Structure 1
Amino acid sequence: MATIKDVAKAAGVSIATASRVINKSPHTSPSAIQAVQLAMNQLGYRPNANARALVNKASNTIGVVVNDVSAPFFGAMVKAIDTVASEQGKQLLIGSGYHNSDKERNAIELLLNSQCESMVVHSKGMSDEELYKLAAEIPGMVFINRIVAGLEDRCVALDNYKGSFLATEHLIKNGHRDIGYICSSHNITDAHDRLNGYRDALSYYGLAQRDYYIEFEEPDEKGGEQAMVNLMAKNIPLTAVATYNDYMAAGCMAMLQENEIRIPEDVSIVGFDDGLIARYIYPRLTTIRYPIQIMAAEAVKLSNQLLESQSIAQQNRLFLPILVRRSTVANIIPRTHINTETIRK
């Protein structure tokens, strides 16, 4: 890994000059700035965040990287982090990565240049290897909703597989055999884990896995609506649909209701996340609770412990999802006579 000495040598300046450029000190010539920045780019040099904070007397800030700050799920996450930050007299700086490696990288770089003392990062685009290297340079960096190989003790995540298994299992235990699945089209671990949870629940209870019962779309209301259109066009005998998130479920429900298909009498629906929308659409949505507020608070607490060099337990902070029963699942066991206990054996 390149050092400031290597940067100074490559730029043809003294270490003191290189330090002034790196720390954006005044009274540095434009030529020196250009030479040092070029050397930093060529060598892939990034100053240690703690050292930079000491030189610059960094403000008390927490950096947050999310997929899209305008999405309600991430809004809840940011609000939870901000609540903890406010209690500690800290401010938030927020960047959006949009599940894109370049945008995530740029957002992290922006937070670094703003001298954030700690960082809570929701990254789905960057590789484990790159995040591992960044974490070595940023002692207060914590990852949320992801397990990064080699950094398990700095990760706060949800068992997405278990959540989707629970959702599908709930439908099966209510007598459903023909269960569709509406999945996110994003190539991220959350989507893969939730799809696998659906598939494995079917297998566990002795039900066939049928790929044509699965649709992939954008993880929002419009995507859920389109996915339901696609499933209906196939003319398959669906009695239930599990979905990637509550917003896809809402779009799915709107499509069914517009076509006078009753929920849950004709088709049962299960969402995922338990966002506000799940409580206020009609019928109220049965879903899987994602405790993002608790997880976000835990991430900030962990980041502070890392910054203060406190002992951190070597463990996965893997939170468990909970099934929230509301009004969108009908029990059809009298019609189908599925004995799930017999199937389980």
Structure 2
Amino acid sequence: MITIRDVAKQAGVSVATVSRVLNSHRSSSEKARLAVQSAVEKLGYYPNANAKALAMQHNDTIGVVVTDVADPFFAILVKAVDKVAEQHHKTILIGIGYHNEEKERKAIDTLLCKRCSCLVVHAKALSDIELQQYLTRVPGMVIINRVVPKFENRCVSLDNIKGTFYATETLIHLGHQHIGYIGSNHQITDAKERMDGYLTALKHYNIHLNQYVIANSSPDFEGGEKAMIDLLSYNSNLTAVVAYNDSMAAGAISVLNENNINVPTQFSIIGFDDMPIARYLIPKLTTIRYPIDLMATYAANLALSLVDDGVSPPNHMHFNPTLVKRFSTKSLV
């Protein structure tokens, strides 16, 4: 049986250092952490009895790592996984990462220690290398909303670039030439990809980009308010905006109303995600649908099929963003 001393010897560090790394202690250096993780992977070591049992048998629990359960997006994700778990007579355990590297790592490790043989993981802060190490060690782990190189067949994601390209293109086809963008200030791939889709559409249709038509803020209602105020402060000719998500779009609409700018008569706006709030705004929000419920269902079934021969793998699915037309946009032509 592999012990912590074997790991320490393989990594060339002390037992205490191995313990600190395995427990995600802040004092662990990056060099030590990588050495220990490499040794753990090579030796097939599991840090406690529960995790050792994970390597030997399955149990009746599916682990789910999300960013924030208070966010409707992740609530839908969790609900979809729970529905699949119920169908297979299993329960779920939830870990929360908060877009924080240490918390994402701790969430995954905690679920593994609780013998979750299947994991559906939404992680944005951990590196590709570390996620690759987890995926190698945990056969039933599936990544959602991200593509990890070498493990593409165990990743479920959406084309964010295509989504904001569609949104921007829709406004251009409606006759808008002065289109702003409200983006997220979170340092994650979604933020970059969604802005890239907007920029790609402007370039494709030969529309000049003014440096003051992009405003980034926190990806919530308050952030949307702040970003919209910034855009109005710098621009007098904007007629439309693409928002990073529906919450930011809602904040932007609030500011437009406060400034007596009518949506959609005087101003058009498109959100992203198609969360429940989009259907209850005034006017109802045109948005890009992110089918997180379908994606989470697929991810959960895939995770189960990877560790249970009795569960058939889901059919190959490619998820695409789609435009949901409501009443927050209007043609200028």
Sort the TM-score into its range (normalised by shorter chain).
0.7 to 0.9
Contact map agreement 1:153 1:313 (CA 8 A) in 2:
no
State the distance in 1 between where 2:21 and 2:275 align. 47
User: What is the deviation of 1:5?
Assistant: 3.3
Correspondence for 2:141:
141
Across the aligned residues of Structure 1 and Structure 2, the Cα RMSD in angstroms comes to 2.7
Q: Quick one: distance in 2 between partners of 1:149 and 1:212?
A: 35
Partner of 1:221: 221
Any conservation in 2 of the 1:176–1:239 contact (CA below 8 Å)? yes
Structure 1 unaligned regions, length at least 5: 13-32, 334-345
Give the TM-score normalised by the residue count of structure 2: 0.86
Pairs within 5 Å for 1:196-345: 196-308=196-308, 318-333=318-333
| Amino acid across the alignment from 2:169 | E
Aligned to 2:2: 5
Matched residue, 1:122: 122
**1:342 match:** none
Higher Rg: 1
In 2, the alpha carbon distance for the partners of 1:81 and 1:215 equals: 34
Q: How much does 1:306 deviate?
A: 1.1
Aligned to 1:47: 46
Equivalent residue number for residue 22 of structure 1 = none
Give 1:210 deviation, angstroms. Answer: 2.0
- Mean alpha-carbon deviation: is it higher for 201-210 or for 180-189? 201-210
- Assess, with a 3 A threshold, how the Cα gap between structure 1 residues 313 and 50 changes in structure 2: closer, same or farther: farther
Q: Give the conservation status (yes or no) of the 8 Å contact 1:64–1:92.
A: yes
Kindly state the Cα deviation for residue 192 of structure 1 after the two structures are TM-superposed.
0.6
TM-aligned CA deviation for residue 34 of structure 1: 8.9
Instruction: Give the Cα–Cα distance (whole angstroms) in 2 for the partners of residues 39 and 169 of structure 1.
Output: 48
CA distance in 1: counterparts of 2:153 and 2:211, whole angstroms = 36
C-alpha distance in structure 1 between counterparts of 2:67 and 2:220, whole Å: 13
Which residue of the partner structure matches residue 61 of structure 1? 61
Paired letter, 2:54: A
**Residues 221 and 249 of structure 2 are in contact (CA less than 8 Å); yes or no, is this contact kept in structure 1?**
yes
- Partner of 1:272: helix, strand, or coil? strand
Q: Partner of 2:26 in structure 1?
A: none
Shift of 1:37: 5.0
TM-superposed CA distance for 1:314, in Å, is: 12
Contact 1:153 1:314 (C-alpha < 8 Å) held by counterparts: no
Give the residue type in structure 2 aligned to 1:290: Y
Question: What fraction of aligned residue pairs are identical, expressed as a percent?
Answer: 46
Q: Determine the C-alpha separation between the residues in 2 that align with 1:133 and 1:79.
A: 28
* Other-structure match for 1:97: 97
Tell me by how many angstroms 1:53 deviates: 2.3
